[in-house]
Amino acid sequence: MNRPDVLVIGEALIDVHDDGMTVRERVGGSAGNVAVGLARLGRDTLLHTAIGADEHGREISAYLAASGVGLSRSSVTQGASSVARAVLRVDGSARHDFRIHWAPAADPGTLSARCVHAGSIAAYLEPGAGTVLDLVTGSYGRSLITFDAKVEPALVGPREAARRRALEFVALAGIVKASERDLAFLYPDDHPLDVLRDWVGRGPDLAVLTRGPRGATAVTARGIVDVPGIPVLYAEAGVGGGDAFMSTLIDSALTLGSDAGMRWVRSGAPVVEQVLARSVQAAALTVARLGAVPPTADELASAGPEALTAG
């Protein structure tokens, strides 16, 4: 097997949205979305997940293949495929029903990717979360590790346990990302930037806070970099923006040679700002259209800041 650019480890599932008038299904899951985003940016991407040999599993497999994402051979399991259902209420809130089956195989077929990414449900939900941590640990020192601390409170169990698990991944990662919502759950009494400073002290070169329509903030050992948001008419309440941000962040890091070191982070604020701006642009393009479809490299180049070049 050729060495992929990125091995993504995590959930791919069926998202069901019921607004009381129509019911829409589409392939989702944070890890699946990140993998698709990377493939659309031209990265050779392998997803290691856990789906069933059922109708939903075949739908997920077909969508990933059409998007250019490779699926590890052990991703099809004996269990059922996962489904996340959101039923919208009259007041605009949603009732969620999660039927998540997360027990991935211990062998994804390769751990030699330039980057190994994990996060979201897959990093917290047992029995599979321990397997994910073992796989990421096995890649430490050989690949760039990226971690998205994305939390679904209904699935992660007690806050303290989720915080401990997040820190185990943070200690292995070169790049970590979290949203304001994630940190409000994990660290309700702490300022988000204080959390990110603590994380950088534990190992990562770059910790990023996403702030929705208000942009993003990066913390490095050299300081803080802020990038404003891009005004956009949301098509589906921001669905998929955070995952598109993560895909683009990984893509930018690999373009700048992060699998061989993170020297670009230490080169100063302008490069970090450019990386953040590119990810913010990708998120804006994604949330502005139905279906949470992340941009291609050409779409991003046409809409966003000047292209990154390897230093």
Alpha-carbon gap, residue 284 to 244, rounded angstroms: 9
User: At 151, phi and psi to the nearest 5?
Assistant: -120, 135
Exposure of 60 by Cβ count < 10 A (0-12 exposed, 13-18 middle, 19+ buried)? buried
Domains of the chain (ranges, CATH numbers): 6-303 (3.40.1190.20)
Amino acid 96: pLDDT: 81
The single residue listed with the structure tokens 């008038």 is: 21
Alpha-carbon gap, residue 61 to 55, rounded angstroms: 10
Average pLDDT over residues 125-153: 96
pLDDT in tens, 10-23: 999 999 988 778 88
* Helices assigned H by DSSP within 87-213: 121-124, 129-139, 153-156, 159-170, 180-186, 192-201
Sign of the Cα pseudo-torsion (191, 192, 193, 194, in order): positive
- Highest average pLDDT, of 97-111, 158-172, 296-310, comes from 158-172
Q: Around 164, how many Cα atoms within 13 Å sit in the side-chain half-sphere? A: 8
**238: which 2 tokens?**
């921001």
Confidence band of 232 (pLDDT split at 50, 70, 90)? confident
Q: Which of 32-41, 91-100, 241-250 has the lowest mean pLDDT?
A: 91-100
Do 295 and 230 contact (CB within 8 A), yes or no? no
Q: Roughly what angle, to the nearest 10 degrees, separates helices 241-255 and 269-287?
A: 140
In this structure, the number of other CB atoms found within 10 A of the CB of residue 281 comes to 22
Confidence band of 237 (pLDDT split at 50, 70, 90)? low
- Reduced to 3 states (helix: H, G, I; strand: E, B; else coil), residue 305 is coil
Average pLDDT over residues 226-250: 86
